[in-house]
């Protein structure tokens, strides 16, 4: 009989431990969780893994994060054993997704720049992202998420390489997952940050259509490293 065993990602294991602490009363309803730094030290994991775990628990409604205050246990948590939770395939670690993107997206940008063609869809996504003024508004936030995700996929289409597009489709799916959106939304929460991201996207596109392969790769890498810092830097 074929086994359904799947090794859990680090953030899933951390989330399991925090969830168990909530259900057994170690962390009481309404109480503040230890800081990410403290949890990382206690559980002997990285802070990004703790941040991802907390993001997953936020998506489950088990904890709530108050900017500038910390993360708190929800007032009402369904008291059921972890193993009885409804099974679902876990989201990919956002940091793992970014590591993969850092490997492949600079190469995609180089190849797109080798083609050096303008793209109406990319320009449309850029214009829509630039129109965002209130990232806390759910509709504008959803628009940003969609345009950001599809912008990067469209760069792959600009390479005119079917295999690269297929790979980019898998990356795009990971960027549509709730955990990715949770951490990314928490990382870019003010208009100034949004405009910085728009500027970085424009630099990528301008380098591509001007045929600057090295510049395109450089700006993609810099942008992805900024995203990585932003999703991991808030307490």
What pTM does this model have? 0.87
**175-198 pLDDT, tens digit each:** 999 999 999 888 887 788 889 999
CATH number of the domain at 78, please.
Answer: 1.10.10.10
CATH number of the domain at 220, please.
Answer: 1.20.120.530
Are 121 and 191 contained in the same domain? Answer: yes
Neighbour tally for 40: CB within 10 Å: 18
Are 52 and 143 contained in the same domain? Answer: no
Task: Let me know if residue 198 belongs to a domain.
Answer: yes
Neighbour tally for 140: CB within 10 Å: 16
**70-127 pLDDT, tens digit each:** 999 998 766 544 444 455 789 999 999 999 999 999 999 999 999 999 999 999 999 9
Task: Let me know if residue 3 belongs to a domain.
Answer: no
Task: Let me know if residue 45 belongs to a domain.
Answer: yes
Are 41 and 75 contained in the same domain? Answer: yes
pLDDT at 4: 57
Are 202 and 144 contained in the same domain? Answer: yes
pLDDT at 28: 93
Last residue of a domain, one of 84, 116, 132: 84
Task: Let me know if residue 5 belongs to a domain.
Answer: no
Last residue of a domain, one of 84, 105, 136: 84
Task: Let me know if residue 202 belongs to a domain.
Answer: yes
**Between residues 190 and 46, which one has the greater pLDDT?**
46
Are 63 and 152 contained in the same domain? Answer: no
pLDDT at 82: 45
State the average pLDDT for the chain: 91
Are 108 and 64 contained in the same domain? Answer: no
Are 194 and 212 contained in the same domain? Answer: yes
pLDDT at 39: 96
pLDDT of 1 > 70? The answer is: no
Task: Let me know if residue 89 belongs to a domain.
Answer: no
pLDDT at 190: 79
Going from the C-alpha of 82 to that of each of 10, 17, 23, 24, 54, the distances in angstroms are 16, 10, 9, 11, 16
Are 166 and 193 contained in the same domain? Answer: yes
For residue 62, give both structure tokens: 């088990």
Residue 145 φ/ψ region, left for φ over 0, alpha for ψ in the -120 to 50 degree band, beta for the rest:
alpha
Are 127 and 215 contained in the same domain? Answer: yes
pLDDT confidence band for 234 (50 / 70 / 90): low
- Identify the domain containing residue 171 by its residue range: 94-232
pLDDT at 86: 52
Last residue of a domain, one of 84, 110, 128: 84
pLDDT at 187: 84
Written in H, E and C, the secondary structure of 45-107 is CCHHHHHHHHHHHHHHCCEEEECCCEEEECCCCCCCCHHHCCCCCCCCCHHHHHHHHHHHHHH
Are 68 and 106 contained in the same domain? Answer: no
Are 72 and 110 contained in the same domain? Answer: no
Task: Let me know if residue 203 belongs to a domain.
Answer: yes
pLDDT of 2 > 70? The answer is: no
Task: Let me know if residue 46 belongs to a domain.
Answer: yes
Unique residue bearing structure tokens 């969780």? 33
pLDDT at 78: 60
CA separation for the pair 228, 48 (Å, rounded): 10
**203-224 pLDDT, tens digit each:** 999 999 999 999 999 999 999 9
Number of domains comprising the chain: 2
Are 71 and 122 contained in the same domain? Answer: no
């Amino acid at each position: 009989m074929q086994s359904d065993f799947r090794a859990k990602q680090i953030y899933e294991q951390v989330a399991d431990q925090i969830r168990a602490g909530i259900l057994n009363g170690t962390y009481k309803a309404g109480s503040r969780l230890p800081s990410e730094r403290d949890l990382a030290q206690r559980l002997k994991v990285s802070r990004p893994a703790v941040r991802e775990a907390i993001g997953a628990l936020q998506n489950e409604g088990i904890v709530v994060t108050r900017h500038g205050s910390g993360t708190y246990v929800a007032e009402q948590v369904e008291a059921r054993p972890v193993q009885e939770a409804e099974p679902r395939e876990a989201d990919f670690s956002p940091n793992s997704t970014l590591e993969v993107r850092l490997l492949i997206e600079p190469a995609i940008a180089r190849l797109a720049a080798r083609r050096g063609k303008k793209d109406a869809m990319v320009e449309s996504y850029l214009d829509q992202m630039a129109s965002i003024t209130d990232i806390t508004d759910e509709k504008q936030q959803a628009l940003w998420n969609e345009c950001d995700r599809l912008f990067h996929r469209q760069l792959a289409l600009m390479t005119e390489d079917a295999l690269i597009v297929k790979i980019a489709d898998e990356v795009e799916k990971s960027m549509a997952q709730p955990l990715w959106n949770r951490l990314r939304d928490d990382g870019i929460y003010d208009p100034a940050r949004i405009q910085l991201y728009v500027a970085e996207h424009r630099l990528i596109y301008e380098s591509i259509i001007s045929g600057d392969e090295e510049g395109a790769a450089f700006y993609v890498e810099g942008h992805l490293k900024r995203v990585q810092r932003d999703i991991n830097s808030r307490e």
